[in-house]
Amino acid sequence: MSFSGKVAVVTGGSSGMGAATAEALSSAGAQVNLIDIDKKGAEEIAKKTGSEIYIGDVSNSEFCDLTINSIAEKQGQIDILINAAGIILRADALETNDDNWKRIMEVNVDGVFYMCRSALSHMVTKKSGVIVNFGSIWGDVASSGATAYCVTKGAVHQLTKALALEHAENGIRVNAVAPGEVNTPMIKAGRDKPPTRDELQDLANATIPIKRLAEPEEIAEVVLFLASEKSSYMTGSIVPVDAGYTAR
């Protein structure tokens, strides 16, 4: 797949699946713009990809508008938006306080909405563009012990479908990838004690049909497919990449 001449925006591009996606897009010829709150991590990825960096919080709508407008002005267009920024809260409902609930909603839902809205304002003018949101298997099947996270990813799935319907006639496609368990910093985040490699393998053996975690690059390949013309007849789709987890 070639993305030569395409301008891409990747949120959460400093690590994990966002970083893998940014690197894959860059390798395929796209001009990549990284948006992240982690300056150091973003700078490391930018060295590999030649990306422009925009440091800020996607839960701030003004930041999203200013950043997207700046990218469009400098580079003339926005062809691809990848919403990979997200956080996790490992807590059930009774353990979730108001501040934690608000914060995960702000990042995982508000941030995706604000970035989509900002990018769409430019894509509609061009009558072309592709958005790929990061959902999750937990947006459909849920899990105990991560109530707020499940809710946010369910919201991302519905937002993806609604935007796809609203902009199908504008030549804009909106899809989401729904990863399963992936070997990224998030799988270790929010725990009292980060799991060891053996504990992660035990998790894979117990829950994943092919008995291993995904690597970020494997998810990125699906994201690139959804961002490319090879998926030209797909919009409003939630694509699980979970090694059979949700097939049960």
Catalytic residues: 149
List Cβ neighbours of 152 (8 Å cut-off, separation of 6 or more).
Answer: 86, 104, 105, 108, 109, 139
Q: Which helix (H) or strand (E) holds 176?
A: strand 172-179
Cα 126-127-133 angle, rounded to 5 deg: 100
Question: What six digits make up the tokens of 51?
Answer: 């990306």
- Residue 121 carries which side chain, given as an amino acid letter? S
Q: In what order do the strands lie in the sheet with 80-83?
A: 52-55, 31-36, 7-11, 80-83, 129-134, 172-179, 238-241
Question: What six digits make up the tokens of 243?
Answer: 């090694």
Nearest to 139 by CA among 122, 158, 120: 158
